[in-house]
Structure 1
Amino acid sequence: MPELDLAGALPEPPLDALRARLADRAAEEGLLDVAYRSLDTDVGTLLLAATPAGLVSVTFDGAEPEATLERLAIAISPRVLEAPKRLDAAARRLDDLIAGRARAFDGPLDLALARGFGRSVVERLREIPYGETRSYAQVAAAAGSPRAVRAVGSACRRNPLPIAVPCHRVVRSDGGLGEYVGGVAAKRRLLDVEAAQSPPASAG
């Protein structure tokens, strides 16, 4: 009796479909605490992560996410799983912000990774209007610590949700861009897009 050739008889489900099923099953059983996906954008490949409460992390290491995933596993939960569909809405909102099609991230945010003075800075960053900038000194004053200019710079670098929480709108008092977690080129691009979408200031 000839051997039955099973090659191709039962095609394996696509990997993406398997991942989606696994993510759905994990969520149903309460085993998915952090979902993540990568997103290719005009300012680089981002790694997005979310908890059931909302988007919790945006990093510029989407092409090499290991360090961020390890940090999330330690800081939030080891139940971390790639689940792109669960971040589709957040990805669209971020893409719209980067392209100038939106002026604010209107989805839920989880600020679990912003702690202490950094949490206060993050809250102030969310108040900076689209198309405008504030100096590190102005943010320090708004956060209740006028002398904590360096600490504001550190908090901006550690902002767990860049773009969604606009730390790119914080610049130096002398007009210089200052540093940015995604690089100065990305910061300039984000500010240029916002400037192009904002109406000019009225004269007088």
Structure 2
Amino acid sequence: MVSLSELKIGAPGPFLPPWDNALKNAKTIDSLGYDSMAFPDHLAGFIPQSIWTPEVTQLAYLQQSPHTYYEMASIMGACAAVTENVQLISSVTEPLRRHPALIAQTFLTLDHISNGRVVLGIGAGEIENVEPYGLNYSGQVGKLREALKIIRHIWDSHEPFNFDGKFWKMKDAVMSLRPAVEGRPPPIWIAALGPKMLEITAEYG
């Protein structure tokens, strides 16, 4: 049984305009002692515009569209710069819109900005944020597995590396940026439900 002293409480990270209000909310979450803030990585929301009304969700009072999102890494970095203690979690990104090497670099950068407070939350993605933008949603679990191999290798090695996968191929790829604390890269949290995703979680999460 988990004691109350071990219970951690998080809050949704600010991801809506106006910008000044988003940063103010981040500072408030940090000052109130929340353990974490979670930032969605969306182009589109889940609720159709046709039912985006105050009767369905009170968020409709705050924004005119369900598809209003700041770019995840940008707002995470901004919030990291104005906070001191709260953990910042991507909730969640995926390797369908973002190349694995870019994910690795982005989260090492956020690791430095936050002084080690960032968590890479990652999953296989959802179709509504992929296919409408001309990207291929097929093979998403395999892409995630390969992406995690690439990200881990970049974080663990100083040397150029090659990768010959089904979805990505690299030759003499280099990235010299290291974690803010050497040997302590950002934790990886995997969003998983089905058997294949749970296998990946057991291996990498």
TM-score past 0.5 threshold = no
TM-score bracket, shorter-length normalisation: under 0.3
Q: TM-score, normalised by structure 2?
A: 0.25
User: Which TM-score applies when normalising by structure 1?
Assistant: 0.25
- Could you say which structure has the larger radius of gyration? 1
